[in-house]
């Protein structure tokens, strides 16, 4: 049970009879009267369990978007005046709304229902993290007829919302698809070499490469015929997402500090969207000391949606990455040549200790690209020398930058392409590198 603000006011009103009859018994009688009224009011209050509460199922949404949790509340037996609280995990971000006959502040709704009446209560949600966020229950505080006391109970009304990665880089998708169409069109007609395949025959026009003339077909027709070529399709692109301790660090991004893991996911989603439109097959592996997720997306239509569903539950693990295990998972996908994109920070210690020993195995069979999220704060610290403390911090930052450059140089000698950019620039930079490899036939 609970009491309302009316009870202290009623106790305070006892000053009047005490002034009229100043005696200890007067105060005792008044207090006893208030207690009796509260008990009777609570006894007459409706039971919270008598309410019928249903929750409308929620679909998935991207991180940063808003949705609404909707409850249908019905009182089949008697009139009800109550306060209803729709409880969610704190990271679900319950907001405020006003709707219909119910007024709400945050996720608390005041309702007044007659017998057999019903109402819909809407609580806006703006999740602050990825994954499955669940409702904790619906707390109902039903007031008595005098408004002095109330019955309170938390009812279990299951509900969940699945929050997918934000995919902020989808704004770059139209421009990259336009470049892909240009690659399949103008450039593909005139380029012949490794990484291209026969497309069709057409009549010769001025400016065509004479080496593309099909002499056999020309001999059987009255016009000169040339062959056209297009970039090879059905290539394999393997995304390897590092979920080890290095991915837990936060870097400066467009919306403030963002985890390296989320930035790497954003880049992976953009490259998957572009590669699937280019006709290539996408495979996905995520892990640290063990493989956390494995997904084959060959022949599927909505690649980014499936990839977002898989990424939603991934979180950084405070452990070192076991790259020999992850390389084995890549080998398990097949021995055919593929573009292997390692979404991992360019951390000198982690790479030199774990990744370098297994790189020769990967580069022997595949084209390897390492995509790293760079922290712009490191360069800003290295450039700041205003005070003595800044000088020491700049020296440490310079040392870290030099080690990163040395590690990147070692990786390039092993045949690994490096794409190192800040959180906002990495997705388009990685997509541009993929399109370059596609255009030059290096996949």
- Report yes or no: 69 and 127 within 8 Å, Cβ to Cβ: no
The two structure tokens encoding residue 147: 């408004």
- Report yes or no: 194 and 92 within 8 Å, Cβ to Cβ: no
Residue at token pair 């009316």: 6
Q: At what angle do helices 173-182 and 426-439 cross, to 10 degrees?
A: 10
pLDDT at residue 104 greater than cutoff 50 = no
- Report yes or no: 269 and 236 within 8 Å, Cβ to Cβ: no
pLDDT at residue 275 greater than cutoff 60 = yes
Pure H helices in 183-302:
188-190, 215-220, 260-277
Closest CA to 82 of 107, 106, 108, 117: 108
Confidence of residue 230 (pLDDT cuts 50, 70, 90): low
Q: Strand pairing partners for 54?
A: 72
Q: What is the pLDDT of residue 149?
A: 87
pLDDT at residue 105 greater than cutoff 60 = no
Q: What is the pLDDT of residue 97?
A: 42
Burial class (CB in 10 A: 0-12, 13-18, 19+), 171: exposed
The two structure tokens encoding residue 1: 């049970």
Pure H helices in 13-81:
15-20, 24-44
Q: What are the tens digits of pLDDT across the range 288-304?
A: 999 999 998 876 678 89
CA dist 58 and 67 (Å) reads: 8
pLDDT at residue 187 greater than cutoff 60 = no
Q: What is the pLDDT of residue 195?
A: 46
Q: What are the tens digits of pLDDT across the range 374-425?
A: 888 887 888 888 888 888 888 888 888 899 899 999 999 999 999 999 989 9
CB hemisphere CA count around 256 (13 angstroms) = 0
The two structure tokens encoding residue 261: 């893991």
The structure's pTM equals: 0.77
What is the length of the chain? 443
pLDDT at residue 441 greater than cutoff 70 = yes
Q: Give me the percent of the chain exceeding a pLDDT of 90.
A: 35
Q: What is the pLDDT of residue 273?
A: 93
CB atoms within 10 A of CB 404: 20
CA dist 170 and 181 (Å) reads: 17
DSSP 5-19: THHHHHHHTTHHHHH
3-state secondary structure of 352: helix
Mean pLDDT of the chain, nearest integer = 85
CA dist 251 and 227 (Å) reads: 50
Backbone angles phi, psi at 352, to 5 degrees: -65, -35
Confidence of residue 194 (pLDDT cuts 50, 70, 90): very low
Q: What are the tens digits of pLDDT across the range 43-102?
A: 888 899 889 999 988 888 898 888 888 999 998 888 999 999 999 988 888 874 444 334
The residue-averaged pLDDT of 26-41 equals 88
Residues 6+ apart with CB under 8 A from 51: 73, 74, 75, 80, 82, 140, 142, 155
Q: What are the tens digits of pLDDT across the range 141-180?
A: 999 888 888 999 999 999 899 999 988 999 999 999 988 8
């Amino acid at each position: 049970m609970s009491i309302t603000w009316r009870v202290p006011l009623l106790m305070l009103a006892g000053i009047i009879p005490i002034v009229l009859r100043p005696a200890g018994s007067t105060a005792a009688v008044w207090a006893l009267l208030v207690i009796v009224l509260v008990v009777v009011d609570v006894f007459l209050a409706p039971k919270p369990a008598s309410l019928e509460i249903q929750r409308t199922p929620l679909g998935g949404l991207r991180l940063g978007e808003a949705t609404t949790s909707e409850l249908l509340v019905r009182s089949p037996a008697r009139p009800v005046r109550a306060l209803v609280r729709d409880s969610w995990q704190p990271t679900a971000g319950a907001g405020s709304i006003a709707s219909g006959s119910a007024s709400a502040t945050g996720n608390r709704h005041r309702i007044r229902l007659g017998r057999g009446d019903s109402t819909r209560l809407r609580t806006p949600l703006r999740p602050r993290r990825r994954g499955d966020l669940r409702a904790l229950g619906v707390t109902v505080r039903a007031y008595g007829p005098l408004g002095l006391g109330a019955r309170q109970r938390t009812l279990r009304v299951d509900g969940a919302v699945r929050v997918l990665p934000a995919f902020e880089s989808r704004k770059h998708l139209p421009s990259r698809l336009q470049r892909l169409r240009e690659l399949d069109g103008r450039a593909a007609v005139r380029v012949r070499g490794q990484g291209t395949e026969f497309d069709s025959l057409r009549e010769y026009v001025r400016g065509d490469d004479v080496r593309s003339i099909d002499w056999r077909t020309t001999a059987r027709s009255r016009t000169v015929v040339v062959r056209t070529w297009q970039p090879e399709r059905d290539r394999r692109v393997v995304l390897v997402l590092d979920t080890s301790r290095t991915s837990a660090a936060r870097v400066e991004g467009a919306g403030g500090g963002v985890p390296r893991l989320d930035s790497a996911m954003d880049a992976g989603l953009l490259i998957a969207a572009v590669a699937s439109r280019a006709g290539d097959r996408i495979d996905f592996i995520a892990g640290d000391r063990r493989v956390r997720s494995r997904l084959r997306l060959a022949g599927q239509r909505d690649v980014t949606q499936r990839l977002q569903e898989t990424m939603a539950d991934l979180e950084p693990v405070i452990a070192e990455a076991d790259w020999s295990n992850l390389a084995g998972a890549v080998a398990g996908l097949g021995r055919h040549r593929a573009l292997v994109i390692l979404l991992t920070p360019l951390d000198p210690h982690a790479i030199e200790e774990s990744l370098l020993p297994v790189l020769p195995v990967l580069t022997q069979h595949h084209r390897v690209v390492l995509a790293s999220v760079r922290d712009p704060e490191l360069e800003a610290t290295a450039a700041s020398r205003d005070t003595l403390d800044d000088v020491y911090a700049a020296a440490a930052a310079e040392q870290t930058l030099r080690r990163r450059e040395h590690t990147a140089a070692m990786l390039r000698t092993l045949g690994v392409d490096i794409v190192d950019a800040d959180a906002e620039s990495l997705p388009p930079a990685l997509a541009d590198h993929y399109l370059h490899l596609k255009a030059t036939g290096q996949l």
